[in-house]
Amino acid sequence: MSMQTVIIGLGYVGLPLAREATMAGLNVIGLDVNSGVTSALNNGRSHIDDLSDRDINDMLKHGFSATTDSRVLAEADVAVICVPTPLSNEGGPDLRAVVGAVSMIAENIHKGMLVILESTTYPGTTDEVVRPILEAQGLTAGVDFSLAFSPERIDPGNSSFGAKNTPKVVGGHTDACTSEAAEFYEQFVDRTVRTKGTREAEMAKLLENTYRHVNIALVNEMARFCHDLEIDLWDVIEAAKSKPFGFQAFYPGPGVGGHCIPIDPNYLSHNVKSRLGYPFRFVELAQEVNSRMPAYVVERAQDILNAREKALKGSRVLLLGVTYKPNIADQRESPAKEVAERLLAKGSVVEYHDPFVQDWDAVPTALRTEDLAVGVAGADLTILLQNHRTYDVASLAERAISFFDTRGEVDSDGAGITRL
């Protein structure tokens, strides 16, 4: 009889995980508090970029089902928590969804159960927050049930790496817990990487994203002074990345967005300051640099228009791509929102185009451009914020009166073209 697995949270992390486990032959039930999500899934409709309706229907044919009824946990051999941990007002992770999921498990916990937390958080959460709630029922982690942390590493829109072939980091409350969790994942992922414990696994995820956060901040800062020094940073990066060792290319942009980079390093910074009493200065500086990039984009936009003796106020500015990364519909923490709001505050008429976003609810006063060619030709300034694969950027830049490329996709020597 196959292992019964309940995956709590059916978003961009939980649903791909559920698919891999289901297609590997495990008996998988998805548990979510949103009845609209569970109903849609049970009717074969996907709500995330990485899985199609066909993928969901394949899952259903292999026995997957979704529910809002937490009583399914009473029969579960494994419970995997994949709920969101947004940034709290204090700067750390908001653990309310995690606590809610763990509380549901605690009400149904039984001997022999394996509980795994995947939600990104600060080091110590599994042991200090999750374990006490589970043990309040009288069972002991590492003795009566197994407990582990395995950070999600989903990269939405990545066609090369997904839940199956991205190595799975696993750290348990005890060595036996680590082994049990690793053996669970090894049924449907290609490789597991075992750490010494839960804290090491929790910290590994934060290190990964802090590394990206800091290096993106480095090139964003360089973009500002290279512009002032009349140095082409894009050409500099191309030259530097020719070195076959000791260098990894990062690129500047209008800011950072998404579910990880602008948020996760702050968990670590907050944890260091609250526990140790001193700041994690690299993270705080990186956050400062990256968070001011939308304002810098607007400053540069104003300079571009001024050079043509036009004011930002009253000018039509068209934003191309408002999602946080290319070729997906995800808008979480997208810097496009702040760029648009700052332009609107200065009196610009803001229009946008994005093949993945029909209604930009984050900026309801921005006007959607339906005909891209007409919109570009009529805008006083077109700003490329996200380069979706459907955009012929070179052609759009040629049509534009002024074109501001924040992604380094076109030759800056072209007439009317400016790169970040």
Where residue 266 falls among pLDDT bands split at 50, 70, 90?
A: confident
Residues 203, 275 contacting (CB under 8 angstroms): no
- How many C-beta neighbours within 10 Å does residue 217 have? 24
- DSSP secondary-structure letter at 72? G
Domain 4-196 CATH assignment equals 3.40.50.720: yes
Spans of all domains in the chain: 4-196, 292-420
Q: What is the mean pLDDT of the chain?
A: 94
Give 351 or 3, the one with higher predicted confidence: 351
pLDDT of residue 271: 81
Strands (DSSP E) along 307-398, which ranges? 316-320, 349-353, 367-368, 381-384
Q: How far apart are CA 137 and CA 66, in angstroms?
A: 27
Where residue 149 falls among pLDDT bands split at 50, 70, 90?
A: very high
Catalytic residue among 82, 177, 226, 260: 260
Can you read off the two tokens belonging to residue 82?
Answer: 């994949």
Mean pLDDT of the 333-337 span: 95
Give me the sign of the Cα torsion angle 172, 174, 179, 184: negative
* b (16+ CB within 10 A) / e for 85-99: bebeeeebbebebbe
pLDDT of residue 264: 77
pLDDT of residue 270: 80
Taking the whole predicted model, whether its pTM rises above 0.75 is answered as yes
177 is catalytic: no
Where residue 261 falls among pLDDT bands split at 50, 70, 90?
A: confident
pLDDT of residue 1: 45
CA angle at residue 13 from 9 to 18, to 5 degrees?
75
pLDDT digits (tens, 9 = 90+) for 165-176: 999 999 999 999
Q: How far apart are CA 378 and CA 58, in angstroms?
A: 46
Q: How far apart are CA 144 and CA 53, in angstroms?
A: 39
Put residue 98 in one of left, alpha, beta given phi > 0 → left and psi -120 to 50 → alpha. alpha
> Would you state the CATH architecture of domain 292-420?
3-Layer(aba) Sandwich (3.40)
Q: How far apart are CA 393 and CA 225, in angstroms?
A: 26
User: Crossing angle, helix 264-276 and helix 281-291, to 10 degrees?
Assistant: 140
